[in-house]
Structures are given as C-alpha cells and as structure tokens.
Amino acid sequence: MNNNLESDSLDDALKKQKRLRIRKSWILALCLLAFGTTLYSEIEGQWFSSFARVIANVSYFGVSIMVALAGIFGTIFYLTWGAISDNLRTKRGRRIPLILIGMVATAGLMIIYISSTYFFLLLFIGGFLLAITSNMFHVTNKSLIGDLIPKEKRGRTNSILFIATNMGSMTVWIPAIILLPEGTETFSRGIHSIFIGGGALLLIIVGILVTLLVKEPKINTPPRNWLHDLRNLLNRKEMMQHKDFLRLFVAMLFLIMSQYAFTPFLLILLQEISLGLIEILIFLPIIGTAIGLGIFLLGKYVDTIGRRKVALICLIISPIGCFIITFLGASNQFLLIGFGIMMPFNIGLWLATDAWTLDLLPEESRGRFLGIINIGNAIAKAPGVLIAGYLADTFGILWVFFITGIILWIGIPFFLRVPETIKLKNDKRE
C-alpha cells in the first residue's frame, strides 16, 4: 500500500510541474551530477593510486589494500546513506542535501590527501574517510535518476548521461595524456596536486549547481526509521519478492570484480609504458571513435533489442581485447588495439546493466536497494583488486587484464539467469 502511495505522489508531482522546463533542468542537473561523480571516481581510482605508488613509493599490493578498504567501508556507508536518503524529508528533498554535503566534504579531504606521503595517513583518508563522504553522492546520484526519469525513458537518458560521464572521464584523461612525461618518467607531485586539487574545486561547483537546478517532487508518505530499513536490508521474506533483482546482484559481482581488477592501475600503466606522440595521435582518435560508436549504438540497442542481449554481446567480446593486451601488449600497437576492442564493449556492458538495475529497483526503496547492489563493491572489489595487484607484482602490470577477461567470461552464465525487463514490459502491454 505504501509503495503505491509513494509512487502515485511522485507521478502526481511530475504531472503538476511544467514538464518541459523542469525536465530540461533535471536532465542538466543529472548530467552535471554524472560528470562530477565520474570525475571524482577517475581521480579516486587513478590519481589517488598513482600518488600512493609514484610519490609515496607504495607497492602495487599496498595500493590494492587501499582500494580494497575503500570498497569495504564504501559499501557500509553506501548502505547507510541509501537508507537515510530514502527516509529523509527536507525542504530541499531527500537526495539533494546529501549530494551537496558529500561533495563539499569530499573536496576538503582530497586537499588533505595530497598534503602528505605518509602511507598510513593516505590509507586512513583514501581507504576510510573518503569512503564515507563520497558515497553520500554516489548512492543519491543513481537514486535521483530513478526518482526523476520514467522507466520507458531510462535507456535513452542513460545514453545522454553516459556522454556526461565520459566528459567527466575525459576531463581527467585528456590532460593526463597531454602532460604525460616522455619515456618512462612519472608525473611530478605538483601535477598530482593539480589534478586532485582541481577535481576538488569542480566537485564543489557541481554540488552547488545541482542543488540550484533540482527541486525534488514531494513525497507524501511518512519517513520510516532508517535504522529499521538497514536491519531489514537483507530480510529474507522481502528479498524473496525480488528474485530477479537478486539474480542481477549475483551477476553484477563478476562485473564489479573485473572492473576493479584493472581500473586502479590504468594511470600507473600509462606512466610505465613508453608511448610515442605519433602513436598516441594515430591510435587515440581511433579508440575514441570506437568508444563513441559503442556508446551511441549500444545505448540505443539497450532500449530496442534489450538489456540482456547487449550485456551478453559485451561479455563475450570485451575479454578478447583483454587477452590481446595481456599477451601482445609489449607491442604498443597491439596494446592500443586491445584497448580499442575492450573499452567500447566494457562501456556497453555498464550501459546495459545500469538500465537493467533501475528497471528492477522497487520505487519506494531505490536508495536501499542500490545499497544492496553496492554490497558487491565489498564482496567483489576487494578480491578483484587484490588478485590483480598480486599478479602485477609477480608477472607484470599487463596481467591485470588477463584476470579481467577471465572474470567476465565466468560471469556469462549468471547474466543468462536474469530475465529481460524490456520483453517483460512488452508482454504486459500485449
């Protein structure tokens, strides 16, 4: 009963607003939020790791420990903030206040992070404190999409947001490539400070703009006790009502594990290989074009041929690029070809699973159920990055892509168990 009341209140609020004006401001805000969240994720995943490895002289496995701890504590607080945001009732809404506070607090901690090379301080900030603050906007980011965007438009909206997401990623990567030192020299401490400090400033700007652009639809149902929600997070009786969601949760463990097997080491890899300017100028536009086509085509197909088919195609093809990188990556040409195959389908896989996840979230508890999905970050992120860190120390950094590809192929049978939500929707219409 409560579920229907809350769903109706959201729908009524949407109908009462001036839909065109509100929708444009909401889409703009969601794009800014996607940009800022991805910008931070790239800095956290690349520049924090690079700072620890290159400036503080931490081993690959030491970097893996920091990333693993961030995953564990991040999951705990993702669940906490998700439950709180579902039950928060303020004049500014239930998601927006947490987004603003989280972005400002995270920016402050980023500045502190670059002030020291003492490993245990880096571990405390990067593995614990930032896990608390950054998840205030990570969980509310996806919940807000579900709150504002109707189900039938989420695939197309996710494609738009993926462009903003990639703009956030390119804001980090393009300057990094341009400023890449010659040969095997590494980025200086000053460059690390510019990227991390600049990212902190952009986070504050995004948090303020999103707060100004979004006035959330009013929720008429009374809030629940968020501690009660947390206790019931994995309530067996409730979970059995969402079997398809649980199947996707299990499948997503393999995707998360594979993602964190290679992403924390990308910037480190860039500094350890010797790429010439001509090679970058030739192959980077090709890879960029492939990624752009992947976003456009796969984003479109997610809504037409379905989440499941797109995910399976990507699961099969992306690992081929991983293996090319692992076994032929000593040649820069094959290294770049491997990335050209791997990355478009890796992105397509996230496009499909993002839409799939939103389809299966209960409307009244999106934050809480996104918290359940994020449990996968603790379950899968830690073993993925630790195994990859061990392989990198033992066989070389390119072996992180071997474990990435193997994990994706192992995950195929688990994704096959998740039903196609688009087909189910069409069946109901018929």
CA atoms within 13 A on the CB side of 168: 25
Q: What angle do CA 7, 421, 3 make, to 5 degrees?
A: 20
CATH code matching the domain that covers 7-224+236-429, chosen among 1.20.1250.20, 1.10.8.60, 3.40.630.30, 3.40.1390.10: 1.20.1250.20
Question: What is the maximal distance between C-alpha atoms in the chain?
Answer: 64
pTM of model > 0.75: no
List, for residues 117-132, the tens digit of each pLDDT value. 899 999 999 999 999 9
The CA–CA distances, whole Å, from 157 to 154, 358, 405 equal 5, 12, 29
Q: Is the dihedral of CA 66, 67, 70, 71 positive or negative?
A: negative
pLDDT at 223: 66
3-state secondary structure of 63: helix
Q: Does the structure show a pLDDT above 70 at 222?
A: no
In percent, how much of the chain has pLDDT > 70?
80
Counting runs of H as helices and runs of E as strands, what totals does the chain give? 20, 0
**Least reliable range by pLDDT among 131-145, 157-171, 226-240, 352-366:** 226-240
CA distance linking residue 163 with residue 144, whole number of Å? 18
CA distance linking residue 409 with residue 143, whole number of Å? 29
Query: Are residues 360 and 244 in contact, defined by beta-carbon separation less than 8 angstroms?
Result: yes
List, for residues 360-373, the tens digit of each pLDDT value. 877 666 666 766 77
pLDDT at 238: 65
DSSP state string for 344-399: HHHHHHHHHHHHHHHHHS-GGGHHHHHHHHHHHIIIIIHHHHHHHHHHHHHH-GGG
Question: Where do the structural domains in the chain lie, given as residue ranges?
Answer: 7-224+236-429
pLDDT at 150: 65
Highest averaged pLDDT of the listed ranges 155-164, 169-178, 405-414: 405-414
Q: Is the dihedral of CA 144, 145, 151, 153 positive or negative?
A: positive
pLDDT at 17: 45
Q: What are phi and psi of 157, to 5 degrees?
A: -65, -40
Query: Are residues 128 and 112 in contact, defined by beta-carbon separation less than 8 angstroms?
Result: no
Residue 186: both structure tokens together: 């590494």
CA-nearest of 151, 258, 279, 137 to 207 is 137
**Least reliable range by pLDDT among 93-102, 246-255, 284-293:** 284-293
List, for residues 56-91, the tens digit of each pLDDT value. 988 888 888 998 898 888 888 888 887 788 777 777
Q: What angle do CA 347, 369, 168 make, to 5 degrees?
A: 35
Residue 56: both structure tokens together: 């503080």
Q: Does the structure show a pLDDT above 70 at 344?
A: yes
CA-nearest of 80, 218, 81, 92 to 140 is 81
Q: Does the structure show a pLDDT above 80 at 230?
A: no
Around Cβ 269, how many Cβ atoms within 10 Å? Answer: 17
Average pLDDT taken over every residue of the chain: 81
Q: Does the structure show a pLDDT above 70 at 231?
A: no
Residue 18: both structure tokens together: 């001036």
Element (H, E) at 20: helix 19-42
Residue, of 47 and 227, whose pLDDT is higher: 47
CA distance linking residue 67 with residue 128, whole number of Å? 10
- Assign residue 18 a region (left: φ > 0; alpha: ψ between -120 and 50; beta: otherwise): beta
- Assign residue 361 a region (left: φ > 0; alpha: ψ between -120 and 50; beta: otherwise): beta
Cα-Cα-Cα-Cα torsion 164, 268, 255, 341, nearest 10 degrees, comes to: 70
